[in-house]
Amino acid sequence: MSRGQEKHQKRVNELMMLGKDLARRAHSKCELCASTGVSLAAYEVSPVPAEPDIDKTVFICDVCSEQIDNPKLMNAHHWHCLSASVWSSTPVVQVVAVRMLERLIDCEGWAEDLYDQLYLEPEIQLWVSDT
Ligand SMILES: [Zn+2]
């Protein structure tokens, strides 16, 4: 194994150790779209800290993580879930939800309406822009 791979593997293991606490926080539902009965994985939110941190990580399904990573695959229909998750009391979940909403506001009327209603704490607003 190369050093890069070793480092990556270490990170994966450390994230897996957060899995139990994440599952508890998420009540075993995707923290973005609330899907149940699907496989959920830790997803680190940028800016990624030096050490894995549960407060900088969301626990989400494959559908959500794939579309976060690939804006071209965005299916606006899936993201109606944001109308709940942008109000999450878990800051990191709110940050990801708002970032995804920002991708949709130009083409989706409901997203624009939701964005207009949104009130964000100043530190959340700063984090949202800190990609
Ligand atoms: Zn999801």
What would the pLDDT profile of 7-63 be if each residue is shown by its tens digit? 999 999 999 899 999 999 999 999 999 999 999 999 999 999 999 999 999 999 999
Residues with CB under 5 A from ligand 1 (ion): 30, 32-33, 35, 60-61, 64
How far from the centroid of its chain's Cα atoms is residue 83's Cα? 14
Q: Would you place residue 2 in the very low, low, confident or very high pLDDT band (cuts 50, 70, 90)?
A: confident
Contact status, residue 54 vs residue 18, Cβ threshold 8 Å: yes
Cβ neighbour number for residue 35 with a 10 Å cutoff: 18
What would the pLDDT profile of 58-107 be if each residue is shown by its tens digit? 999 999 999 999 999 999 999 999 999 999 999 999 999 999 999 999 99
Residue 3 Cα to ligand 1 middle (Å):
32
Q: What CA–CA distance (Å, rounded) separates 62 from 40?
A: 7
| pTM reported for the whole predicted model | 0.93
The number of folded domains in the chain is: 1
Domain boundaries, position 120: 3-129
Of 46, 36, 32, 30, nearest to 83 by C-alpha is 32
Quick one: DSSP state of residue 130?
Answer: -
Q: What CA–CA distance (Å, rounded) separates 27 from 34?
A: 9
